[in-house]
Amino acid sequence: MAFNPADKIQDLQYFGEFGGVNPSVSDSSTYTFLSAKSMFDTFEGNAEGCYLYSRHTSPSNLYLSQALAAMEGTETANVAASGMGAITPVLLQLCGAGDHIVSSRTIYGGTYAFMKNFLPRLNINTAFVDITKLDVVEAAITPTTKVLYCETVSNPLLEVADIEGLSKIAKKHNLKLIVDNTFSPLSVSPVTMGADVVIHSLTKFINGSSDTVGGVVCASTEFINSLKSVNDGASMLLGSTMDSLRASSILKNLRTLHIRIKQHSHNALYLAEHFEKDGLKTVYPGLASHPSHELYKGMINPEYGFGGMLTIDAGSLEKANELMELMQERNLGYLAVSLGFYKTLFSAPGSSTSSEIPEDEQKDMGLTDGLIRFSIGLDNDIERTYNMMKACMVELGILSA
């Protein structure tokens, strides 16, 4: 693949103000102007390189934004205080009263709740569709549709969106294609396949240490400027601003993302293959049994693999809970929501991160009670981890010895 996102990150050279190897942190909410005229120009958006106020932007936030834009191959980017703080302004910037969204039905619970329960208050309505069926997606478009929304690899069912196919539909109907790429940083570069806007929750793999929330919108300069407009920009006016200290710490973690993603993918593939062989119902895009395996193989930058997320079905919620508790007791990971941590994290999405989705809809989309979502950690010896996990499953009667 010609575009290698990790090389783009590596090629960024930032010096601190005293020649530090890390850029200096801007510990200021506001900035002085040498003349009143340059203050006026900055407010009018005409003074490149001038800082106004840290809700608009700060040097530290710009460094991180530039690095993430380089990674996604967009002109620029804007970081936010959380993933939801990136997603909600994008939707509100692109849609007004009377507008319509077509979205994948298997998306992050918070995004689903925002579209399903919050946006209708503003008379913005969403059709939730099976994103893997391009004809169904296209049939859901109405004359008022403005946005086509999906996750590259969906939460929690790990369905794969055909971004190239969706992009053709979006262009034909003059829609913006928004892709949440949180599960697949580096592995997939949605802009190279025609996405208009790429969003990440930095909280997950990109930061990787489960010590902060954060988000980013990667897009054209025109769109990012509209989000940041002091007059009508949803990011600027809703105010979900990242703190500069956090931006600098996330930037340092971003520098090791390629190493971590390779290890997450290596470990997840190992476990998925072995769990499947053992007879567990396992979903992982790297398995030939995954319905979108061939599609995904063609989408990823193979160096970074199929990602760190997999699901298994433990049979029932009761068994799933017993297994997660036992694995935590044996220090194989933590019973916690979120993902992308160096330790394995597991949760039962039906009763946690996807509990916003009504039960009948959960059933309809294949979200079963016994489903456990794993974010596989950076374990050094994955065979050892596998053997210990298998012992837990045998002990609980989920697998036979």
Ligand X SMILES: *Cc1c(COP(=O)(O)O)cnc(C)c1O
8 Å CB contact between 89 and 114: no
Is 60 a binding residue for ligand X by CB under 6 A? The answer is no
Q: Is 273 helix (H, G, I), strand (E, B) or coil?
A: helix
Sorted by sequence, the CB contacts under 8 Å of residue 143 that are 6+ apart come out as: none
Beta bridge partners of 183: none
Among the listed residues 146, 148, 141, the one whose alpha carbon sits nearest the alpha carbon of residue 104: 148
Closest CB 307 distance from ligand X, rounded Å: 12
**203 interacts with ligand X by CB under 6 A:** yes
Eight-class DSSP state of 116: I
* Sequence letter at residue 201: S
For residue 338, the 8-state DSSP code is -
Integer angstrom CA distances of residue 159 from 283, 331, 366: 9, 29, 11
Among the listed ranges 28-36, 80-88, 279-287, 362-370, the one in contact with ligand X (CB under 6 A) is 80-88
Would you say 73 or 109 has its CB closer to ligand X? 109
**Which strands, in side-by-side order, build the sheet including 100-104?**
76-80, 215-219, 197-201, 176-180, 145-151, 100-104, 125-129
Least Å from the CB of residue 215 to ligand X: 5
218 sits in which H/E element: strand 215-219
Nearer to ligand X, 57 or 212 (CB): 212
Please, which residue, 78 or 82, has the CB nearer to ligand X? 82
Per-residue mark of binding to ligand X, 141-160 (x: CB under 6 A): ----------x---x-----
Q: Is 213 in the site for ligand X (CB under 6 A)?
A: yes
How far is 250 from 64, CA to CA, in rounded Å? Answer: 8
Q: How far is Cα 9 from Cα 78, in angstroms, rounded to an integer? A: 16
Q: Distance between CA 191 and CA 14 in Å, rounded?
A: 25
Q: Which of 82, 93, 152, 301 binds ligand X (CB under 6 A)?
A: 82
Tell which one of 56, 100, 116, 204 touches ligand X (CB under 6 A).
204
Site membership for ligand X, residue 212 (CB under 6 A): no
Binding ligand X (rule: CB under 6 A), the pick from 5, 23, 83, 305 is 83
CB-wise, 5 or 83, nearer to ligand X? 83
Q: Name the minimum Å distance from CB 154 to ligand X.
A: 8
CA distance 300 to 167: 17
- Contact call for residue 100 and ligand X (CB under 6 A): no
Residue with Cβ nearer ligand X (52 or 86): 86
Q: Site for ligand X (CB under 6 A): how many residues? A: 16
Per-residue x/- mask for ligand X, residues 172 to 201, rule CB under 6 A?
A: --------x-xx-----------------x
Report the residue closest to ligand X, judged by CB.
Answer: 83
Name the minimum Å distance from CB 202 to ligand X: 7
**Cα 323 from chain centroid (whole Å):** 27
Evaluate the omega torsion of the peptide bond into residue 156 and state whether it is cis, within 30 degrees of 0. Answer: yes
Question: What does the per-residue mask of binding to ligand X show for 109-148, with x meaning CB under 6 A?
Answer: -xx-------------------------------------
In terms of CB distance, is 204 or 246 closer to ligand X? 204
Does 354 participate in binding ligand X (rule CB under 6 A)? Answer: no
Output 151 or 162, the one with its CB closest to ligand X.
151
Token pair listed for 285: 């895009």
- In whole angstroms, give the CA distance from residue 366 to residue 348: 13
327-333 contacts: CB < 8 A, separation 24 or more? 327/389, 327/392, 330/388, 330/392, 332/385, 332/388, 332/389, 332/392, 333/374, 333/377
- Sheet of 345-347: strand order equals 281-283, 309-313, 371-375, 345-347, 334-335
Q: Which region among 5-13, 23-31, 37-45, 79-87 touches ligand X (by CB under 6 A)?
A: 79-87
Q: Is 84 in the site for ligand X (CB under 6 A)?
A: yes
C-beta closer to ligand X: residue 42 or 106 = 106
Name the residue nearer to ligand X (CB basis): 195 or 392. Answer: 195
Binding to ligand X (CB under 6 A) within 255-284 occurs at none
Nearer to ligand X, 179 or 280 (CB): 179
Enumerate binding residues for ligand X (CB under 6 A): 82-84, 108, 110-111, 151, 155, 180, 182-183, 201, 203-204, 213, 215
